[in-house]
Amino acid sequence: MQISRKTFIKSAALVTGGVLFGVHKSLAKVLQQADSGFKIMKENFGIYLGGGGTIFWYISEDNVIVIDSQNPASAKSFMDGLKGKTSRSIDILFNTHHHFDHTSGNIYLKQFAKKIVAQENCPRLQKEAYGSGDKAKEQVYADTTFAKKWTYNAGKEKITASYIAPAHTGGDSIIHFENTNIVHVGDLVFNNLYPYIDNKNGGGSIKSWVTVLEKVEKEFSSDITFIFGHANSDDNATGKMKDIVSMRNYLQALLDYTSKGIKEGKTLDQLQKISEIPGVKPRGEKWPKALAANIDSAYSELKK
C-alpha cells in the first residue's frame, strides 16, 4: 500500500527506538513510498514531498545538494526523479537531524552521495535510537560532522549549515543557501501542526527551542523563504518569517500554560484536559493526542 505525505501526517507515528511518537505506540507504522512528488521552486531547486520530512534539492552544473532522505522507498522515488533532472551524483547529502523520517533513506541514497553531513550530535543520537535491534542494519550515518558551523561553496551557491542549541532534538541543523535566499530549518518548524518534541530521549528542549527560533528571527531577513520539515499541507511546507514566529509563540505559550498549571498544583492529567493552548491560534492535530503529548513533554521538562 502507498500512503501520501498527507496521510502520513494524519495517521503515522514513526520510530524513536521503534516509534517516533512514543506515546502512540499502537499507531506505529513503517513509512512507505508516497505518491507525492517534486515541487519546483525555481528551475534548479525545489522540494520533494514524499513520505517523511521535506527533502530540498539543488542542482547546478557542478553540484547537486540534497537535504534529508526520508525513508528507503521514498528516497528511491526521489532519486528516480532527480536522475531525470541531472546526470550528476549527489555531492552533499545533509541530514537536518537524526529522526527516522529524515535519515532512514540514507541507506538508499548513500550509493549516489559523495558525502553525508550532519551536526555532530546527529549520528550519535541516531545510533542511540536505532543502532540496535531490527533497525541497526538499516542505518547509514553522516560521515562528515560539525559542531557549530560548516560551509560549502557549491559553485555559484554558498551553503552554511549551523547549529545553535538543543531544540526539537539535540542536533538540529539550519541550512542556509545564501544566494538563493532559502533556509531549511528541518523540524524546528511543524508549520500549523502540533510538533513532536523529543526532549526525553533525543536531547531536545522546549525552552531552548524558543531561544533558537528567536535567533533565527534575528539572523535572517524577512524575505527569506523557509523550508519546514512538516506542515499541515503540501503548500505550507515552505513559508516566511511569520511561520517561524508562530512556531516560537506556540512553544512559549505551551511552556507558560504548563508552568502556570504546575504552580497551581494541577496534575498532568488535568493539564491535558484542554482542546487548545490559551493565547495562541490552534494548530492541526494530525495524529491522535498530539496536543496532549506536547503538554506531557512540557510538564516533564518543567518538573525537572
Over residues 114-149, the pLDDT tens digits come to: 999 999 999 999 999 999 999 999 999 999 999 999
For residue 31, pLDDT beyond 80: no
For residue 25, pLDDT beyond 70: no
- All three cell numbers of 86: 541531472
The span from the CA of 15 to the CA of 135, in Å, is: 10
Q: 5-303 belongs to which homologous superfamily? A: Ribonuclease Z/Hydroxyacylglutathione hydrolase-like (3.60.15.10)
> How buried is 100 (Cβ within 10 angstroms: 0-12 exposed, 13-18 middle, 19+ buried)?
buried
pTM above 0.85, yes or no: yes
For residue 26, pLDDT beyond 50: no
Q: How confident is the model at residue 8 (pLDDT cuts 50, 70, 90)?
A: very low
Q: Distance of CA 216 to CAs 55, 100, 133, 183, 221, Å?
A: 20, 25, 37, 10, 9
Higher-pLDDT residue of 181 and 19 is 181
- All three cell numbers of 69: 532522505
pLDDT > 70 fraction of the chain, expressed in percent and rounded: 88
For residue 13, pLDDT beyond 50: no
Instruction: Sort strands 144-146 and 182-184 into parallel, antiparallel or unpaired.
Output: unpaired
Q: Domain limits of the chain? A: 5-303
The span from the CA of 128 to the CA of 198, in Å, is: 13
Q: DSSP code of 178?
A: T
Residue 17 has what pLDDT? 38
Closest Cα partner for 251 from 193, 206, 185, 189?
A: 206
79 near 37, Cβ under 8 Å?
no
The span from the CA of 169 to the CA of 206, in Å, is: 9
Amino acid residing at 86: T
202-229 average pLDDT score: 97
The span from the CA of 263 to the CA of 203, in Å, is: 25
Closest Cα partner for 104 from 58, 135, 131, 71?
A: 71
For residue 24, pLDDT beyond 90: no
> How buried is 199 (Cβ within 10 angstroms: 0-12 exposed, 13-18 middle, 19+ buried)?
buried
181 near 41, Cβ under 8 Å?
no
Three-class SS state of 183: strand
